Every structure is written in C-alpha cells, then in structure tokens.
Structure 1
Amino acid sequence: MKRFLMIAALLSVATAATAARLTPDEQLAKAIEGRVAGEPVKCIHLRDIRSTRVIDKTAIVYDTLGPTIYVNRPKAGAAFLRDDAILVTDTHSSELCNIDIVKLMDPGSRMLSGSVGLGDFVPYTKPKTDRRD
C-alpha cells in the first residue's frame, strides 16, 4: 500500500509538471509579452548579444544589451531546435546574419545534433510610455 501511494504521488507530480509546461508558441508569446514588433533586420551585432534562448522547434530569442530582443525563426532546420541545445555560432564578421548557419550541440554527449539556417531577426521593444506628471 505504501508503495502504491508513493507511485501515485510521483505520477501526479509528473502529470502536474507536464500540464504546467508551456507550448513553444506560449513560450514565445511570453518572451515577447508587452513588446511591439519592429521591421525585420538581416543582421545583429554580436557585441550586443547578452544571452540566447532556444524555443523548441520554433525560434531563437536573442536578448541584447539594450531594450530590444530579437526573435529569429530559422529558414531551415527549426525541427532541430531544442530548449537544452547549445548553440555553436561560427561567423566571420562582427555580425550574426540571416545567411549564417548555427550548429546545435547536445549538452549530454557534446556531439552536434543538427543545424539551422537563420532567418531575418525581428526586433521587439517595449513601447515608450507617455508620462505626464
């Protein structure tokens, strides 16, 4: 009986964790929440990238030093995107562009697990608030 209760408790925790996990589209919506999309750009400066986040089979979100984040929906290979993947970027300039290919590395095996051909970078910024005091 004790074993049954323990198994039931573990199953309910696993089910709750799975239900609480957001879909890739929901994760992207949360990342850009409160921001307004700008005109897509072909390149972003590498020096401005503070961090990146991979959204499963959907996009790469580039957080920059300024108030802007850039969302890149790859032109090819999006099926290889996993939220735990390590991005391996090999560029020959000071910019990351829509013609670049980003390799993906599995964090466990440290082996390449795919690559994506980047698309345009869509900037998302928070709208300026009109403050009247």
Structure 2
Amino acid sequence: MNRFRPAFIAALPLALTGLCLSPLAAQDAEGQSVPDVETETTAEAAPPTKGEARLAKLIEGRVAGEPVRCIRSLPSQRMTTIDRTAYVYGSGNTIYVQRTRDPDQIDDDDALVTQRFNASELCRLDQMTTVDRVLGFFTGAVFFEDFVPYTRVKSNEGGEG
C-alpha cells in the first residue's frame, strides 16, 4: 500500500536528529552518493499469502465491477471470512468482496457484529466490531471500504447461430 512513499518521509528520521539531508543529494558519511530506495520493485513482489490465494480461487472466472457503497443483505446471505484478507458476501453469479481499511486485522476466529443503519442493506458506514467466537469478548473494530462486486463471466459454448 505504501509503494510510493514521499521523499520527505524517508528523510524524517534524519530531520529529527538535526542531520536532515536533501532527498535529491543524499550522501553517506564519506560523501558517497546513497542509492534512492523509495519504491519497491515489481520484480521482487512477495508471493501471495494463503488468504490471497483463497480469494483468487473464489473470484476465479469472475470480473470485478464498479465498487458500491452498500449491498443488499438478507439474513440468509452467506458470508465468508478469509484470514488477513477480506470478507466475501453472497453466492451465485455475483459476490461482493470487502477488504476493509486494515485487512490484516481480519481473523476467521472472530465473529463480525454489525450495527446497521438499514435492515436490508450492509453499507460501508455501518458500525462493525469483532468478538471472540468462544469467549465473546471484544477483539476489534472494523472499518469497511466500498464493496467490489465480482460477477461470473458467461461463456458462449453454444457458438453463434
């Protein structure tokens, strides 16, 4: 998420000690130029986590749509929790992926408790908390982002006719 860090953030620890260096002319103690290590290279991308691999399997054969603020929510609607990755709502042709503001806090050992503004919709502004499934104590707050719909791609197996 922080792939493009501003140069002043990299120089911040030095500025706090009174040794602020210009990000354009960074040098070490011997006056040698220091290579700029601001961004991650895409060639060194980390392998997908278990959660990302599981989510990829769920959305396989589906196309992402325009994010929406609210989704229709029924008591019988299926919700899948993918550890440290996302909540997935629905089944069938369209599913909705909710990554939250801090996906690392998602734990499938916790139960998601929702205080809704509307009984038939689940929205990004609803108040969400998590509780331990066994002991029932509070484990955290959840802040939703927009829901991303993934719709199954229809194949044309019959050909043109």
Q: TM-score with structure 1 length normalisation?
A: 0.73
Separation in structure 1 between the aligned mates of residue 158 and residue 104 of structure 2, nearest angstrom: 47
User: Which has a greater percent of helix?
Assistant: 1
State the AA in 1 paired with 2:73: L
Shift of residue 49, structure 1, vs aligned partner? 6.2
1:61 to 68, 71, 88: 88
Q: CA deviation at 1:82?
A: 0.5
Show the counterpart of 1:89: 114
Structure with the greater relative contact order (CA < 8 A, sep ≥ 6): 1 or 2?
1
How many residues are matched?
110
RMSD, aligned CA: 1.9
Q: CA deviation at 1:85?
A: 1.6
2:62 aligned residue: 35
Q: Which has the larger radius of gyration?
A: 2
Give the unaligned 5+ runs of structure 2: 1-48
Structure with greater strand share of residues: 1
Q: How many percent identity over aligned positions? A: 43
Q: What is the letter of the counterpart of residue 122 of structure 1?
A: V
Distance of aligned partners of 1:31 and 1:126 in 2 relative to their CA distance in 1, 3 Å threshold: same
Structure 2 residue matching 1:115: 3-state secondary structure? strand
Which residue matches 1:50? 77
Unaligned runs of 5+ in 1: 1-21
Deviation beyond 2 Å, 4+ runs, structure 1: 77-80
Q: Pick from 95, 103, 109: which aligns with 2:135?
A: 109
